[in-house]
Structure 1
Amino acid sequence: MAQTVLHPANTRGAADHGWLKSFHSFSFAGYYNPERIHFGALRVLNDDFVTGGMGFGEHPHDNMEIISIPLEGELQHKDSMGNVATIKAGEIQVMSAGTGIYHSEYNSDPNHPAKFLQIWVFPNQRNVAPRYDQINIDKDTRNEFIQILSPNADDAGVWIYQDAWFNLANFDKSTSRTYTLNKKENGVYVFVLSGRLEVNGQPLAIRDGLGIWDTDSFEVKAAENAEFLLMEVPMKF
């Protein structure tokens, strides 16, 4: 029988730095909850709001897969690999930090905020050569799971050093689909971006998170028009 863990939106950690407002689904920086350190290989899920003209100065990472998904606005990215890029809503960015990188992210639009998800996944290989990629993602297809990340470089979406699969979906009200896991030892963390869902009958509202594991598949039904992210990751790594 499937096991689940529910994380209602209002139970997340919160930080307000003025220029940055962030909600943490898992322990991060000043927020520590011993029962919410990670979900399998999913270590960080931050819901960030960056004021216009502000951003993150240069800072280091190593041995982590770092995924950014802009929801509104855009961010200017620079890193120690020489990449200079703009990421915006409708794209996904990935960095394998590996042996170590430095990067910065700024909202260069002084008049509009940027909203994005910052996601960290533990890698299955350490000390790899750092790398960077970004691609457009399909946000127009409705009522289907759209793969945006996998372990395979020749598959749809970006790839990372982990047996993980991410799917983004936009469901119309009453749409129901079965999600089948790629590996039976994995689990899936469902995160609602807008609207309301039911996962195996469990109601979820905007920014709620639900982890589900010990199952081969589960049902997702839109209680109203909904956008959501499915993050399938190993539970043991």
Structure 2
Amino acid sequence: MNIISADSRGKFRNEWLDSRHSFSFGDYHDPQRMGFSTLRVINEDWIAAKGGFPMHGHRDMEIITYVMEGALSHQDSLGNGSAIHPGEVQRMSAGRGILHSEFNHSADENVHLLQIWIKPKFTGIQPGYAQELFPLEQRRGKLQLLASQDGRNGSLSMNTDASLYASILQAGESVQFIKPVGRAVYVHVAKGALILNGTTLQAGDAAEIIEENELAFTTGSKAELLLFDLP
């Protein structure tokens, strides 16, 4: 396993945004951190009250928004408008081009989220949007599938050969994952402290896994994690 410390991530800050970049993004460029397999971006963002991203464009990328605190308002050029709350996951297939905005309309609460970009399997497709509620209690003590190429088990479908799982563990709980042959796994600790195959990871830490086949997760306190099964 290759462990990536939260403190090694790129940083960006302005009057309404505090952001950490797991991979090269914006003004943060590290040729050694250009992505992992098809995973291209994980940005951890704290958006202050009344702050947000005005309308801007993307193309040929699968974009997943995972909100951990607060409510993020979304609008796009396809006519979609929604608020994303903890437990809800949004998937936007940028395809041949889409515009969208993201705002925190709260007067006094921050929004804390992860925005994830995964390279698509096919480029130039019709843009698409989907949002689904996955109640937090349903991922307690297990890995819940949130997004996949085929949309199996009620997950959001994506235009990419990848699967995204999430789990919430309380003290003493554990969960296992067997890496499929020939695949790679990326683990991101969203909250708390996680023990992965005997190695302790803190919030914001990550692990890149190619050789390990059996992954065992536990915690002595509480942890929330994302696991990416990648080609």
- TM-score bucket (shorter structure): over 0.9
132, 142, 145: which one pairs with 1:144?
142
Could you tell me how far 1:154 is from its partner in structure 2? 4.5
Whichever residue aligns with residue 33 of structure 1, its letter is D
Q: Which position in structure 1 is the counterpart of 2:178?
A: 180
74, 77, 98: which one pairs with 2:71?
74
TM-score in terms of structure 1 length: 0.93
Q: Which position in structure 2 is the counterpart of 1:134?
A: 131
SS of 1:77 mapped into structure 2? strand
CA distance in 2, matches of 1:138, 1:212: 28
TM-score in terms of structure 2 length: 0.95
**Cα RMSD between the aligned structures?**
1.3
- Structure 1 residues 41-80: aligned runs within 5 Å: 41-80=38-77
10, 16, 40: which one pairs with 1:13?
10
160, 163, 188: which one pairs with 2:161?
163
> What stretches of structure 2 of length at least 5 have no aligned partner?
none
CA contact (8 A) 1:184 1:214 kept: no
22, 25, 28: which one pairs with 1:25?
22
Alpha-carbon displacement from aligned partner over 1:179-205 (angstroms, at most 9, x marks no partner): 023x42221111112221121222111
Could you tell me how far 1:56 is from its partner in structure 2? 0.3
CA distance in 2, matches of 1:194, 1:77: 24
CA distance in 2, matches of 1:154, 1:34: 35
**Percent identity at matched positions?**
34
CA distance in 1, matches of 2:156, 2:200: 30
The reply to whether residue 39 of structure 1 matches residue 36 of structure 2 is yes
CA contact (8 A) 1:175 1:222 kept: yes
Corresponding residue pairs, total: 230
SS of 2:7 mapped into structure 1? helix
> What stretches of structure 1 of length at least 5 have no aligned partner?
none
